[in-house]
């Protein structure tokens, strides 16, 4: 079954580009494209797409606010934000609102298509330098902490990689451990954070 994708983008030229990109992918199905948040709030709960590409800077109602209102109504839908801004603050706001990924609009077509696949698999795709800025934010002196601080050093290391979008195999390769060991650590992380998915765990880490 193809991944059902919807778009929310006010720039007509960019929206048309994304439409062509999705229509040209065999594994994707374009459900609908919306020019603003207001129409998306009305239509997306009926469309029930698997993945939504959401512009952050929409007129009137922002994409972040739109996601915050839609996520409780569409818990199974994954939202990936698209933005020209790459500061850590809007990224964190988007993730807190319920987004599972954040890409710069300068991302290549291949990166956008891969992000859709990744978020549908349960990942949290982010453009590399955006992910790095988010990690640096939480490494800064005085960064807030919560229950995440109770995790072991290895568990925090794995959770950080999850939060920046790495897959299990990539985490295993980076840390020179087996995928089975990664899965065991992640199960313990889920238990300690009282979450049920890597996306929830990543968001909890980014909110810590």
Residue at 133 is within a domain = no
Q: How many residues does the chain have?
A: 208
Q: Over the stretch 140-149, which tens digit does the pLDDT of each residue have?
A: 555 545 556 6
Q: Are 197 and 164 in contact (CB under 8 A)?
A: no
Q: Which of 127, 158, 192 is the last residue of a domain?
A: 127
Tokens representing 166?
């790495």
Tell me, yes or no, whether 149 and 178 share the same domain.
Answer: yes
Which structural domain range is residue 170 located in?
144-206
Query: Are residues 117 and 22 part of one domain?
Result: yes
CA 22 to chain centre: 18
Verify that 33 and 86 share a domain, yes or no: yes
Residues 123, 149: one domain? Answer: no
Closest CA to 7 of 42, 38, 40, 48: 40
pLDDT tens for the chain, residues 1 to 208:
999 999 999 999 999 999 999 999 999 999 999 999 999 999 999 999 999 999 999 988 999 999 989 998 998 999 999 988 766 677 777 877 888 888 989 999 999 999 999 899 888 888 776 676 666 665 655 554 555 666 777 888 888 888 777 788 888 998 889 988 988 888 888 777 777 776 677 777 766 6
Together in a domain, 122 and 40: yes
CB 44 within 8 A of CB 66: no
Let me know: does 169 contact 186? Beta carbons within 8 Å. Answer: no
Q: Which of 95, 127, 159 finishes a domain?
A: 127
Q: Which residues contact 152 (CB under 8 A, 6 or more apart)?
A: none
Domain count of the fold of the chain: 2
Query: Do residue 116 and residue 154 come from a single domain?
Result: no
Chain-centre distance for alpha carbon 29: 19
Residues 105 and 188 in one domain: no
Whether residues 99 and 167 fall in one domain: no
End of a domain among 94, 127, 160? 127
Domain identity same for 28 and 110: yes
Does a structural domain hold residue 91? yes
Instruction: Look at strands 51-55 and 28-34 and give their pairing.
Output: unpaired
- CATH number of the domain to which 67 belongs: 3.40.50.2300
- 36 and 99 assigned to the same domain: yes
In a domain, 139, yes or no: no
Whichever domain contains 179, its CATH number is 1.10.10.10
**In this structure, are 72 and 118 located in the same domain?**
yes
Instruction: Specify whether 113 is located in the same domain as 172.
Output: no
CA 183 distance to own-chain centroid: 20
pTM over 0.95: no
Residue 137 lies in a domain: no
């Amino acid at each position: 079954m193809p991944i059902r994708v919807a778009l929310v983008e006010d720039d007509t030229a960019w929206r048309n580009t994304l439409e062509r990109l999705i229509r040209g992918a065999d594994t994707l199905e374009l459900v609908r494209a919306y020019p603003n948040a207001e129409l998306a709030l009305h239509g997306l709960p009926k469309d029930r797409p698997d993945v939504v590409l959401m512009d952050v800077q929409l007129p009137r109602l922002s994409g972040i606010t739109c996601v915050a209102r839609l996520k409780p109504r569409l818990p199974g839908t994954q939202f990936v934000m698209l933005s020209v801004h790459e500061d850590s603050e809007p990224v964190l706001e988007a993730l807190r609102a319920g987004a599972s990924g954040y890409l710069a609009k300068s991302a290549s077509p291949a990166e956008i298509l891969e992000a859709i696949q990744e978020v549908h698999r349960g990942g949290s795709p982010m453009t590399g330098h955006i992910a790095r800025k988010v990690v640096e934010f939480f490494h800064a002196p005085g960064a807030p902490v919560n229950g995440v601080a109770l995790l072991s050093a290895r568990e925090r290391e794995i959770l950080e990689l999850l939060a920046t979008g790495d897959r299990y195999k990539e985490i295993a390769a980076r840390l020179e451990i087996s995928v089975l060991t990664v899965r065991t650590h992640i199960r313990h992380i889920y238990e300690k954070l009282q979450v049920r998915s890597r996306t929830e765990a990543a968001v909890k880490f980014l909110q810590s």
